[in-house]
């Protein structure tokens, strides 16, 4: 099926036409040679297509605008303060063909109202696509991704961050799938009532019996099980249970940076056997050991300052005094920078420990306050892939990392769901079975 000449594809085509102009001048001017390589990489990524596993634009609209999209100019967000990492202008330069938009709600919203809140975030994604129909298109399947790409639009998928959003209800889980959710992160920063988080004290030693049933029900529907944010015990329990590939929508390698949010080597090997995907993230403290250690020092310093000031201040005055003192500490102890090369190091490690065929990209743009040098916003994906090419990655490997691996996992999960279509929905009710 030929590509349709939509406005987005025409823009990309016009950009790529520079590849064939002025070859002699490019050879004489290194900066223009670099630009030619960059344009060629954008073309490779667009064809792959590049699919990012996690972007928090929907939460930005809630925090900044209360989900009122009427005056939100997603074509250009450069005037917003603090700056956003994502808009349509920069997406044109990114090489992206697909994006999982995260429908995140914090763990403080757990319990009654959690499902309503996440439905509001799903609604934001659908309304954003409706507002920009020439640039964005909802995709619910791997075939839908290809359909959107062929139409020259960014395939817009929905990933749900945090199992607390289902409020311990398999019925809610099923209806969220019907609303378009195609992966769910089993936990966020705190445990759910049925799964342990990577950044909380263990309660269940992994997954409870209800948590195992959540995983089975996700496989039955075709919803990808996302193990980012989960504890290693939860990772292993899920891998023991699943019949479809798992994903990590935004995690990196623990063997490189010893952050609790990263994936241990033994799990990486199991993901390779499972056919899953670890979508390497750009969060500075996850990809740089120096940044992680500085973040730990800052956290301990905050506790120390608060303890020292508690006798003098209370309430909001205490918070203000702590923040002022911590700002001074940060000025005296500047944080190191993570870089694009740190991200590439994680990719190298996962390839060496497991396989290039389990690697994807999950930048976490607009969900993080700082970014690696060289990956300042969504337009910078091609620079990362140029670094990988310089490290010896073949075009086949680059395309697999960009989107081939996650599309393969999606197709496998869809096949499992098709095989299980005759199985009834689970009757398990939390606290009764």
- Which residues are known to be catalytic? 54, 56, 161, 188, 229, 250, 364
pLDDT of residue 23: 34
From the list 362, 357, 346, the residue with the least C-alpha distance to 412 is: 357
Let me know if domain 7-16+32-288+337-419 sits in CATH 3.40.50.300.
no
Cβ-contact 361, 402 below 8 angstroms = yes
Coil, strand, or helix at residue 195?
A: strand
Report residue 17's pLDDT band, with 50, 70 and 90 as the boundaries.
very low
Q: What is the pLDDT of residues 132-166, one digit of tens each?
A: 999 999 999 999 999 999 999 999 999 999 999 99
Report residue 76's pLDDT band, with 50, 70 and 90 as the boundaries.
very high
Q: What is the largest CA-CA distance in the chain?
A: 74
Residue found under tokens 């900044």: 64
pLDDT of residue 12: 47
Least confident of 10-14, 38-42, 124-128: 10-14
Segment (H or E) for 226 = strand 224-226
Coil, strand, or helix at residue 334?
A: coil
Residue found under tokens 């607390």: 164
pLDDT of residue 71: 87
Q: Which of 27-31, 164-168, 327-331 has the highest mean pLDDT?
A: 164-168
Q: Please determine, for residue 175, whether its predicted confidence score (pLDDT) is greater than 60.
A: yes
Residues 6+ apart with CB under 8 A from 35: 18, 26
- Of residues 273 and 17, the one with the higher pLDDT is 273
Coil, strand, or helix at residue 100?
A: strand
pTM listed for this prediction: 0.92
From the list 99, 234, 217, the residue with the least C-alpha distance to 156 is: 99
Residue found under tokens 């001017």: 29
Q: What is the pLDDT of residues 250-265, one digit of tens each?
A: 999 999 999 999 999 9
Residue found under tokens 């060496």: 352
Q: How far is 205 from 64, CA to CA, in rounded Å?
A: 38
Residues 6+ apart with CB under 8 A from 8: 92, 134, 135, 152, 153, 154
């Amino acid at each position: 099926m030929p590509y349709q000449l939509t406005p987005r594809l025409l823009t990309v085509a016009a950009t790529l036409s520079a590849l064939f102009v002025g070859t002699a001048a490019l050879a004489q001017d290194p900066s223009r040679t670099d630009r030619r390589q960059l344009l060629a990489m954008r073309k490779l990524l667009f064809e792959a297509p590049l699919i990012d596993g996690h972007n928090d634009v929907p939460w930005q609209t809630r925090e900044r605008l209360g989900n009122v999209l009427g005056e939100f100019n997603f074509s250009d967000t450069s005037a917003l303060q603090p700056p956003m990492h994502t808009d349509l202008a920069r997406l044109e330069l990114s090489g992206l063909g697909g994006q999982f938009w995260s429908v995140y709600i914090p763990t403080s919203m757990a319990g009654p109202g959690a499902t309503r809140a996440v439905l509001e975030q799903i609604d934001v994604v659908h309304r954003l696509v409706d507002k920009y129909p020439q640039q964005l298109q909802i995709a619910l399947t791997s075939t839908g991704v290809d359909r959107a790409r062929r139409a020259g639009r960014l395939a817009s998928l929905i990933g749900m961050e945090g199992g607390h959003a289902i409020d311990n209800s398999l019925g809610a889980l099923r209806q969220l799938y019907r609303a378009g959710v195609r992966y769910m992160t089993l936990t966020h920063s705190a445990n759910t009532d049925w799964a342990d988080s990577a950044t909380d004290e263990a309660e269940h030693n992994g997954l409870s019996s209800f948590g195992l049933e959540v995983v089975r029900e996700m496989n039955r529907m075709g919803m990808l099980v996302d193990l980012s944010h989960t504890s290693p015990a939860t990772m292993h329990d899920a891998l023991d249970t699943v019949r479809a590939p798992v994903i990590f929508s935004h995690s990196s390698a623990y063997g490189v940076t010893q952050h609790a949010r990263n994936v241990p080597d033994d799990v990486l090997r199991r993901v390779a056997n499972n056919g899953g995907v670890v979508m390497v993230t750009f969060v500075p403290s996850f990809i740089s050991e120096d940044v992680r250690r500085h973040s730990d020092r800052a956290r301990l310093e905050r506790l120390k300052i608060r303890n020292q000031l508690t006798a003098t201040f209370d309430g909001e005055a205490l918070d203000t005094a702590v923040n002022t003192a911590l700002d001074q500490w940060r000025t005296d102890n500047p944080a190191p920078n993570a870089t694009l090369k740190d991200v590439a190091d994680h990719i190298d490690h996962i390839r060496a420990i497991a396989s290039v065929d389990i690697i994807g990209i999950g930048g976490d743009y607009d969900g993080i306050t700082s970014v690696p040098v060289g990956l300042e916003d969504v337009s910078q994906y091609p620079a990362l892939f140029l670094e990988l090419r310089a490290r010896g990655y073949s075009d086949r490997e680059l395309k697999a990392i960009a989107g081939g691996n996650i599309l393969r996992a999606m197709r496998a999960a869809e096949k499992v769901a098709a095989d299980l279509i005759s199985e009834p929905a689970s009757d398990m009710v939390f606290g009764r079975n």
